[in-house]
Amino acid sequence: MQRRVVFTPSGLDGVVEDGVTVLEAARQLGADIDSVCGGRGICGRCQITPSTGVFAKWGVTVTESSLSSFAETETNYRAKRALVAGNRLGCAARICGDVVIDVPAISQVHKQIVRKDLDLEPITVDPSFSLYYLTIPEAQLGDSVSAADALANAVAVQHRVRAPQVARRALSTLHSAMAKADGEVTVAVRHTENLDQIVAAWPGFVDAAYGIAVDVGSTTVAGHLCELLTG
């Protein structure tokens, strides 16, 4: 059975199969919901706020039973990013009826920022980096797949994005990252129009990455510490 899904504040809507998670529906319809852990209920970045009532604008009626009841993942959730009262984890809440889902600012990848103290139009931050948490199967004797290929394939399969290449400077960190956490790693992927590249890897789950932007002027050198996922 198919269900109507409306995402706000974007107004994006479409139809998905009954029983899929909100995060899966967002990926199918192109809604902007963040997720580092790939739907494992670890990062808490995919929090959504379900709405109930009659929505004449979209011609849908939403009840509390339109989403599945709290899953064990949500009940036991204890990560650093607290589950806000009234919110659900998009990777755990399953769609059981027509729904209207609000995606709060904390769960949006491309957040709008209004600079009130400057005479600028509102800007949309479009980060060039993403973090992906991966589980890599243990290599077997005789396997012909390299560590780089295993990571690239895992990004594509586990997060449903195009397979990245591995930057040469990141090769030295891949094996050590995979060995230290029994195949559980987080990789940083830099996005360009024509190419995605794995540029770093860490053992275990990582949900923040920082870089330094350096401005070399005629008399001054300035360094700016940037959170790469939000800009």
Closest CA to 206 of 221, 188, 223, 228: 188
Write the CB contacts of 41 (distance below 8 Å, at least 6 apart in sequence): 71, 73, 74, 77, 89, 91, 92
| Confidence grade of residue 126 (pLDDT, cut at 50, 70, 90) | confident
- Max alpha carbon distance in the chain (Å)? 66
Q: Which two tokens stand for residue 210?
A: 């920082």
* 155-211 tens-digit pLDDT: 999 998 899 999 988 888 887 888 787 778 999 999 988 899 999 999 999 888 888
Long-range contacts at 226-229 (CB < 8 A, ≥ 24 apart) = 228/127, 228/128, 228/129, 228/188, 229/109, 229/127, 229/129, 229/130, 229/131
User: Residue 169 in contact with residue 194, Cβ under 8 Å?
Assistant: no
Query: What's the pLDDT at 119?
Result: 59
Determine the number of helices (DSSP H) and then strands (DSSP E) in the chain. 4, 15
Closest CA to 185 of 197, 172, 174: 174
| Confidence grade of residue 20 (pLDDT, cut at 50, 70, 90) | very high
In residues, how long is the chain? 231
What is the distance between the alpha carbons of residues 50 and 129, in angstroms, rounded to a whole number? 28
User: Residue 151 in contact with residue 136, Cβ under 8 Å?
Assistant: yes
Say which amino acid occupies 42: I
Query: What's the pLDDT at 142?
Result: 63
| Confidence grade of residue 88 (pLDDT, cut at 50, 70, 90) | very high
User: Which alpha helices (DSSP H) does the chain contain, by range?
Assistant: 22-29, 72-75, 147-159, 171-180
Q: Do domains 2-107 and 124-210 have the same CATH topology?
A: yes
The reported pTM is 0.67
Work out the average pLDDT over 111-138. 72
DSSP class of residue 189?
E
pLDDT at 141 over 90: no
Fold classification of 124-210 (topology level): Ubiquitin-like (UB roll) (3.10.20)
The full set of domain ranges for the chain reads 2-107, 124-210
* 46-69 tens-digit pLDDT: 999 999 999 988 889 999 999 999
Give domain 2-107's CATH superfamily: Beta-grasp domain (3.10.20.30)
What is the distance between the alpha carbons of residues 91 and 37, in angstroms, rounded to a whole number? 10
* 73-85 tens-digit pLDDT: 888 887 777 888 8
What is the distance between the alpha carbons of residues 56 and 2, in angstroms, rounded to a whole number? 19
